[in-house]
Amino acid sequence: MGNGTSTSSGLLREPPTEPADSKESPKIPAVTILEEQEGDTVESLNVSLPEGIKITGGVKLRDQGYTGKGVKVAVIDSGVDKDHPGFNGKVVKQEWYRSGTPLSRDYHGTHVAGTVHLMAPDAEIYDYRVFGRSGEYSIDRAIALAIDQAIADGCAVINMSLGGPFPFGPIGAAVKRAYDAGIIVVCAAGNEGDDNPLTNEVSYPASYEECVSVAAVQKKDGLPVATFSSSNAQVDYSGIGVNVLSLQPGGGVLRLSGTSMACPHVCGFIACLLSKAKADERPDDEVITDDPTGGGFCGCCGDSAAANVVTNPKPRSDFGITDDASLRKVLNEKFLVDIGIKGPDNETGLGFLSYLSKDELMAILDTL
């Protein structure tokens, strides 16, 4: 939504030469993967959660029963290796909107979904693959179709660790439909940072008013902003985005950096807040069924995909969250740690999101 002030930085990959199957629509480049290195074995995740999960309060959330249970999370990305043992069978659906197999050769989507899962281990992950074989680009129509399918599938949160410098009409319209349906849309702020807080690096869809835009910070005392993280007035919050440990296709784990990695920390955190620690089921929302695409298709079979529009939302969680506005109120009042410049700023937004108190957070940072 934006914090109304100005300040930071990041680097988006230039799109490759347009392939034959994307000539009808503009391309939108993926948020760049800025760093990768070999990590630990997947077994290590069962013993000790990654640092970013701990800093965001993942252990405390689990201890209090907030695990994302009953929450559907859409990951719109480059494909997820659903058979990775680290997911524990929580990738429940896969759709794809580009040529090739559901599992891209690119590891971006599996890493992103892995962080969502490690933050919210009982959430169900819906994998919508919108990138081509290389995993480097997508088209606006594919992303819009994936968003509409996430609405139809009843997802409560959408993670989009992707972005480009210009607003694309179909994506913006689909984001608005998701927002109107009460879905939380979380997006990477972009990697166009130049380490200058006075420059303005805008990325879409993160800069749409209806999206939660997430910047990247480092796992250091004070949580300094990552030099690559884009700065603009639309940045809302920040998450851990440097040297992040998560899953990779084929088994095992690796470390990556980028606002792409910060985004799923926040997405998974929100999924936990939307779940209930109590065993009782929440009342169903009253919905009307509509087809916002005017006869669109789900991407893989050509069937019409109707979207559920919430008309009378009920509180989704113990925190009374019903939609984007109520979520932001809860985040700002309960789970915000001011970092960087005092008050809202264009580098870190309103601040860092964590389930920990500031003292608990700093105590963990002191051990890293």
* CATH number for the domain harbouring residue 32: 3.40.50.200
The CA-atom distances, in angstroms, between 7 and each of 141, 219, 316 are: 32, 21, 34
pLDDT band of residue 24 (cuts 50, 70, 90) is very low
The CA-atom distances, in angstroms, between 37 and each of 109, 176, 182 are: 16, 37, 38
pLDDT band of residue 26 (cuts 50, 70, 90) is low
Structure tokens given for 101: 């197999």
Distance CA(121)–CA(165), nearest Å, equals: 33
Q: By the 8 A CB rule, do 259 and 191 touch?
A: yes
Distance CA(241)–CA(112), nearest Å, equals: 11
The whole-model pTM stands at 0.81
Of the candidates 8, 22, 108, 207, the residue annotated as catalytic is 108
260 is catalytic: yes
For the chain, what is the domain count? 1
Distance CA(270)–CA(263), nearest Å, equals: 11
78 is catalytic: no
pLDDT of residue 126: 98
SS3 at position 63: helix
Structural domain includes residue 331: yes
Omega into 205 within 30° of 0, i.e. cis?
Answer: yes
What mean pLDDT value characterizes the chain?
80
Count Cβ atoms below 10 Å from residue 327 Cβ, excluding itself. Answer: 22
Structural domain includes residue 29: yes
pLDDT band of residue 93 (cuts 50, 70, 90) is very high
127 is catalytic: no
First to last CA, the chain: 32
Distance CA(359)–CA(64), nearest Å, equals: 19
For residues 39 and 64, the model is more confident at 64
Interval 5-22 mean pLDDT: 28
Structural domain includes residue 138: yes
Per the structure, the complete domain to which residue 144 belongs is given by: 23-282+304-366
pLDDT in tens, 164-198: 888 989 999 999 999 999 999 999 999 988 776 66
For residues 286 and 72, the model is more confident at 72
Longest dimension (CA), the chain: 55
Percent of the chain at pLDDT exceeding 70: 72
pLDDT of 288 strictly over 60: no
Interval 10-34 mean pLDDT: 37
Region of 32 (left: φ > 0; alpha: ψ -120 to 50; beta: rest) is beta
pLDDT of residue 278: 53
Q: By the 8 A CB rule, do 164 and 137 touch?
A: no
pLDDT of 30 strictly over 70: no
pLDDT band of residue 138 (cuts 50, 70, 90) is confident
pLDDT band of residue 128 (cuts 50, 70, 90) is very high
Distance CA(331)–CA(273), nearest Å, equals: 9
Q: Which of 180, 211, 218 is nearest to 310 (CA)?
A: 180
Structural domain includes residue 190: yes
pLDDT band of residue 200 (cuts 50, 70, 90) is confident
Q: Which of 368, 331, 325, 330 is nearest to 351 (CA)?
A: 331
pLDDT of residue 198: 66
Structural domain includes residue 196: yes
Count Cβ atoms below 10 Å from residue 283 Cβ, excluding itself. Answer: 10
SS3 at position 162: strand
Percent of the chain at pLDDT exceeding 90: 56
pLDDT of residue 45: 55
Pairing of the two strands 286-290 and 307-312: antiparallel
pLDDT of residue 47: 46
Interval 301-321 mean pLDDT: 55
Of the candidates 8, 9, 77, 148, the residue annotated as catalytic is 77
Q: Which of 228, 138, 218 is nearest to 189 (CA)?
A: 228
Q: By the 8 A CB rule, do 86 and 114 touch?
A: yes
pLDDT in tens, 211-232: 999 999 999 988 999 999 999 8
Structural domain includes residue 287: no
pLDDT of residue 308: 54
Of the candidates 161, 231, 238, 260, the residue annotated as catalytic is 260
Interval 140-169 mean pLDDT: 95
The CA-atom distances, in angstroms, between 104 and each of 74, 94, 137, 308, 351 are: 17, 12, 12, 29, 34
Structural domain includes residue 341: yes
pLDDT of residue 100: 64
Structural domain includes residue 127: yes
pLDDT of residue 197: 67
Distance CA(328)–CA(344), nearest Å, equals: 14
